[in-house]
A and B are shown apart, each in its own frame.
Chain A
Amino acid sequence: MKKLEKLLTSESFIRYVYNTNEQDVLFWENWLQLHPEHEGVIERAKLAVQSLQFNISKQDDHDIEASWNTLQIRIRREAFSADLEKTKFFTPFKTAVAFSLCFILIITSYFLFQYQEKIILETGDGQELIFKFSDHSEVVLEENTRVYFSETWETDSVRQVWITGKAHFKVSKKKNDTGGNKRFEVITDQMLIDVIGTVFTVNTRSGPYVELKTGRVNVQLVGSDQIHKMVPGQVARLDQNSNLEILTEVVPNQLVFQDGYLNLTNHSFSEIIQWIETTYFVQINCRDVQLLDRKVSGQMKVENLMDLMMVLEKIFNISIVKKGDVLFIISTN
């Protein structure tokens, strides 16, 4: 009887009841002919199994898609946090001794690991760096800018680049193993920029944070689930409360520093001062309103702040005096 019980729970019996396998149906029909005394039990067992037929309820496709999108955002954010919030790697231990030892060990390992894993590009005052990635994407770092990425960048499923400062990106489309477009992400301490084949600028200092020239990018504030799509000509800015706003207004006439030259197109002295302050992290004091409004066009070679000051002194007929950390502009007219 125990053997029969076992047979009635077997996959073969279930397939026979549901008529899903010809061999099982034949086996059980033969078995019944050989054991007609069990016909009643078999009939009851069949009905018991037949009672276990269910309607499979399915989640709404939109709900699954929405949860997938939420998951993607979370994964990106966690990858981002894991890189910046180093303290998250450390967990408390029960004893102070164990905690200290493990803490030191983890910090050491982490920094060793990080050091070996990252490729760092950095520019100083007046420097510019053009870097071409293995996938033919290109980044131009302006002064005082730091860009880094993983050593395994080429084989990573998402091409991720971290930046502080200002850089211009030209991203090449690349297919992944399954034929889809491989994502390119630029990450700052405030924003995540998701890109596919695009030319754009990221600036973590002042002014427009992201400027899109061609293609399409999605931008997302760190800690926010909201994704903003940008189209060419748009700029993404952070307001005073660090809220993200996407503007379609024309980008203001900006100073362009390229190939070691500062290109001026009817720029005021005030705009030049602002550029120097944000680029060289100096404070400039000028009280001459007329001088601040004077405009100039042209190109000047800039290798360092001193050179630039000398050129400005000649162009605007001024003297620049350094007192402490502040540069004072004195008009000589």
Chain B
Amino acid sequence: MNTRADVLESVSETELWDSFKKGDEVSFKNIYFLHYSMLFQYALNICKDDQITSDALQDLFSDLWQSRRRLAPVTSIKAYLFTSIRRRVLVKLKKNRRKQVLALEIFTHHPDIEFSQEMIRIREEKDFFRKSMIKEALATLSKRQREVIYLRFYQEIPLNEVAEIMNIKYQSVVNLCQSALKVLRNDSKLLRVVSGEFSN
């Protein structure tokens, strides 16, 4: 049986987007089902709140449908959706914070992305020690480095689109990626763990 992804392999992003803009509900549904899960993971990782995540996703797709005719063409639907959900979740967080704390609190626009042990893939899935070593190494990265690594390696989004999502220059993303990999490369404990994984 063909999966949704198989069926969509024959359709380009541009065709799918154009068809959705014309009001084709099947295209809209395909976009929704293809990206919902990853968008959910990303939004949840930013805000750590199921309710805010669900609400932001509902808002995003509802607005997307209502304003479909006015939307500009896109080259990457995934990058467009990630950009949009990131902004929405940050705005929702900001609003909630304003309600909760003094207005003087400075809100940072850099999401605090976390890598859980479940996300980390090693050969022996139950080797919590190794997983926690990798998790610790990733936690030493700055917030922005973590977000670049998360988007590039977990969400598999090319760096030029990562720049679009994070709303920073491409060169800044490349620099963040380089510096993050350099930190990891200089972490001897991490390399020992990983080399054990790949030595056989």
Say if the beta carbon of B93 comes within 8 Å of chain A: no
Interface contact A157-B25, CB-CB below 8 Å: yes
Query: Hey, which chain B residues are within 8 Å of A156, CB to CB?
Result: 23
Within 8 A of A (CB), among B134-183: 134, 137, 149, 153-154, 158-159, 174, 177-178, 181-182
Query: Hey, which chain A residues are within 8 Å of B197, CB to CB?
Result: 50
Within 8 A of A (CB), among B173-198: 174, 177-178, 181-182, 184-187, 190-191, 193-195, 197-198
- A47-B194, A48-B191, A68-B32 known; A157+B23 contact, CB < 8 A: yes
Bound: A74/B36 CA distance, A? 17
Query: Hey, which chain B residues are within 8 Å of A74, CB to CB?
Result: 58, 62
Interface contact B195-A47, CB-CB below 8 Å: yes
Interface contact B62-A55, CB-CB below 8 Å: no
Which of B70-78, B82-90, B103-111, B115-123 is the interface stretch? B115-123
Query: Hey, which chain B residues are within 8 Å of A75, CB to CB?
Result: 62, 65-66
Interface contact B54-A67, CB-CB below 8 Å: yes
The digit string for A62-79, where 1 denotes a CB below 8 A from any CB of B, is 001001101100110011
Say if the beta carbon of B57 comes within 8 Å of chain A: yes
Q: Closest CB-CB distance, B32 to chain A, in whole Å? A: 6
Interface contact A9-B32, CB-CB below 8 Å: no
Q: Name the contact of A54 in the complex, choosing from B27, B121, B137 (C-beta under 8 A).
A: B121
Bound: A157/B26 CA distance, A? 10
The digit string for A7-43, where 1 denotes a CB below 8 A from any CB of B, is 0110100000000000000000000000000000100
Interface contact B120-A48, CB-CB below 8 Å: no
Q: Name the contact of A70 in the complex, choosing from B40, B58, B115, B181 (C-beta under 8 A).
A: B58
Size class of the contact patch on chain B: 35 or more
Bound: A156/B68 CA distance, A? 13
Interface contact A157-B24, CB-CB below 8 Å: yes
Q: Closest CB-CB distance, A4 to chain B, in whole Å? A: 10
Interface contact A71-B58, CB-CB below 8 Å: yes
Interface contact A67-B57, CB-CB below 8 Å: yes
Bound: A74/B40 CA distance, A? 19
Q: Closest CB-CB distance, B27 to chain A, in whole Å? A: 8
- A51-B184, A54-B120, A55-B119 known; A64+B37 contact, CB < 8 A: yes
Say if the beta carbon of B41 comes within 8 Å of chain A: yes
Interface contact A67-B185, CB-CB below 8 Å: no
Query: Hey, which chain A residues are within 8 Å of B190, CB to CB?
Result: 47-48, 51
Query: Hey, which chain A residues are within 8 Å of B66, CB to CB?
Result: 75, 78-79
Interface contact B178-A59, CB-CB below 8 Å: no
Interface contact A9-B36, CB-CB below 8 Å: no
Query: Hey, which chain B residues are within 8 Å of A97, CB to CB?
Result: none
- A8-B178, A71-B58 known; A57+B65 contact, CB < 8 A: no
Interface contact A71-B118, CB-CB below 8 Å: no
Size class of the contact patch on chain A: 35 or more
Query: Hey, which chain A residues are within 8 Å of B58, CB to CB?
Result: 67, 70-71, 74
Bound: A6/B27 CA distance, A? 39
Interface contact B185-A45, CB-CB below 8 Å: yes
Interface contact B194-A50, CB-CB below 8 Å: yes
Query: Hey, which chain A residues are within 8 Å of B153, CB to CB?
Result: 52-54
In the complex, residue of chain A having the shortest beta-carbon distance to the beta carbon of B183? A48
In the complex, residue of chain A having the shortest beta-carbon distance to the beta carbon of B27? A178
Q: Closest CB-CB distance, A82 to chain B, in whole Å? A: 8
Q: Name the contact of B137 in the complex, choosing from A51, A57, A59 (C-beta under 8 A).
A: A51
Interface contact A64-B33, CB-CB below 8 Å: yes
Bound: A78/B62 CA distance, A? 9
Bound: A41/B193 CA distance, A? 17
Q: Closest CB-CB distance, A235 to chain B, in whole Å? A: 30
Query: Hey, which chain B residues are within 8 Å of A78, CB to CB?
Result: 62, 66
Query: Hey, which chain A residues are within 8 Å of B65, CB to CB?
Result: 75
In the complex, residue of chain B having the shortest beta-carbon distance to the beta carbon of A51? B194
Q: Name the contact of B184 in the complex, choosing from A41, A48, A55, A177 (C-beta under 8 A).
A: A48
Bound: A105/B181 CA distance, A? 56
Q: Return 15 A-B CB contacts under 8 Å, by A number.
A: A47-B195, A51-B134, A52-B149, A52-B184, A53-B121, A54-B115, A55-B121, A59-B40, A71-B32, A71-B61, A74-B62, A158-B25, A176-B26, A178-B24, A180-B26
Known: A51-B137, A55-B121, A176-B25. 20 other contacts (CB 8 A): A6-B178, A9-B178, A47-B190, A47-B191, A48-B187, A48-B191, A50-B197, A51-B134, A51-B190, A52-B149, A54-B120, A64-B37, A67-B36, A67-B58, A68-B33, A71-B61, A74-B58, A78-B62, A176-B26, A177-B24
Task: List residues of B whose CB falls within 8 A of some A CB.
Answer: 19, 23-27, 29, 32-33, 36-38, 40-41, 54, 57-58, 61-62, 65-66, 115, 118-121, 134, 137, 149, 153-154, 158-159, 174, 177-178, 181-182, 184-187, 190-191, 193-195, 197-198
